Amino acid sequence: MKLIKTLIVGMVAFFAAASLFAAGSYKVERVTGKVTYEANGEWKAVTVGQEIAAGTNVNTALNSSLVVSDGSSSATIKAMQKGSIDKLASAASTKGGLKKASVAKNGVAGKADGSQSGVSTASSRASEAKKDLEWDE
């Protein structure tokens, strides 16, 4: 029983120490597109080589990405993400591999003769969405 208590106390101490050391900083390895961080209530551009504190809020715009490193590993924060860099980096590093897609099985085959009308396609939605966005080049 004493051994179990010692192990539990040791594990709690280990996780407490790990969380203290995790609150460090991140070095920016690569920036693609428009990526900003919040400093003193103002959003500023992120630059390569910059050190960003773990609690700093970052924002990646459309078609943007940010690659950061904490010394032992690196993480890629993809486009349209906003939040603290430590949470975004940890979420990016845990999302590895491929996900199995689910397929709806309704038993109805589509018409092969092309007689369907009024079906919105990805290209028509993209051309409509392009009017609403500002492109930074």
Domain boundaries, the chain: 24-94
Question: DSSP character for 110?
Answer: P
- pTM here? 0.53
pLDDT in tens, 46-83: 999 999 999 999 999 999 999 999 888 889 999 999 99
- Predicted confidence at residue 129, as pLDDT, reads 57
Q: Please name the residues in contact with 79: beta carbons below 8 A apart, sequence gap of 6 or more.
A: 33, 60, 61, 62, 63, 64, 65
Residue 110 confidence (pLDDT) above 60? no
Binned at pLDDT 50, 70 and 90, residue 5 comes out as confident
Task: Decide if 55 contacts 22 (C-beta within 8 A).
Answer: no
Average pLDDT, the chain: 75
